[in-house]
Amino acid sequence: MSPYEYEPFAYSNWVRYLEVGRSTAESPFTFHIDQFVVGWRIHYTALSYTWGDSTPTRSIAIGADELQVGQNLFDFLNAYNTQPWGASLPKCLWIDQICINQADVVERDRQVSMMNLIYKMADRVLVWLGCDAEIVRAARQLRDNDAVDTWAITTILRHPYFTRVWIVQEIALAQDIDVLCGGVKLKLSQLQAAATRLERRPGWAVSGPRWRLSRTMACFAFLGLGLWIDVLLVDVMGHLLWNIAYLSTARMGVRTRATRCMDSLV
């Protein structure tokens, strides 16, 4: 198969979307890339995730051509096609690694400047935390158990996803958010509620001065980024920015890690 070649945009305010065909015995993945103007009432889902290793290791078929993607994204596409949570979602996805020509610096910069609108107009944002067995087990325990589960909550919040500064924009602007761990689906509100219950638990270590200071500093950082996203975002979505700051700093003081320094929270 030949490498996929991106068709240039007709206009600067256009974006691409990935149309996903459901898997069959003959073809586990069938994809098509098309373009649309942001703001058109096209039903699509946007993906929020970590790239992982920046070197593509897997290939997917776009029509008769192939496109290289990272392992974490490949795992998501496989889960989208095979897990029950993917059956009810729109067939159209916006994924930066695929929908932006990463080899075209001019296009990439222009598309990045539109990402706030892309996530805002999406019907739903999917937070993909991968399919590692431990995090899937933690998500399942959190979903099925109302009691405070320290191990499950901290396992999820220690995921590298919560070190990415871009999650503020991707989550704060979303109309609806699902957190996905393999075949397990959670609402972001469930994760936040679990972290709140843990933080309020008597004797819990993160209630000390160091925790309060780190949480306060995170709030200032997120509010500042909120101003960059949209001046009105701080007023309208300030409470949600706080929730994201809470989730990120609730990672028990673990230093953040990111594959690219621009993506790191600190």
Tokens at 265, concatenated: 């929270």
- The pTM score is 0.78
Residues of the chain with pLDDT below 50 are 206-239, 241-242, 245-246, 248-266
pLDDT at 20: 85
Helix (H) or strand (E) holding 79: helix 71-82
pLDDT at 171: 83
pLDDT at 27: 54
Q: How far apart are CA 241 and CA 251, in angstroms?
A: 16
pLDDT at 166: 80
Assign 3-class secondary structure to 94-163. ECHHHHCCCCCHHHHHHHHCCHHHHHHHCCEEEEECCCCHHHHHHHHHHHHCCCCCHHHHHHHHCCHHHH
pLDDT at 221: 41
Crossing angle of helices 209-229 and 233-249, rounded to 10°: 140
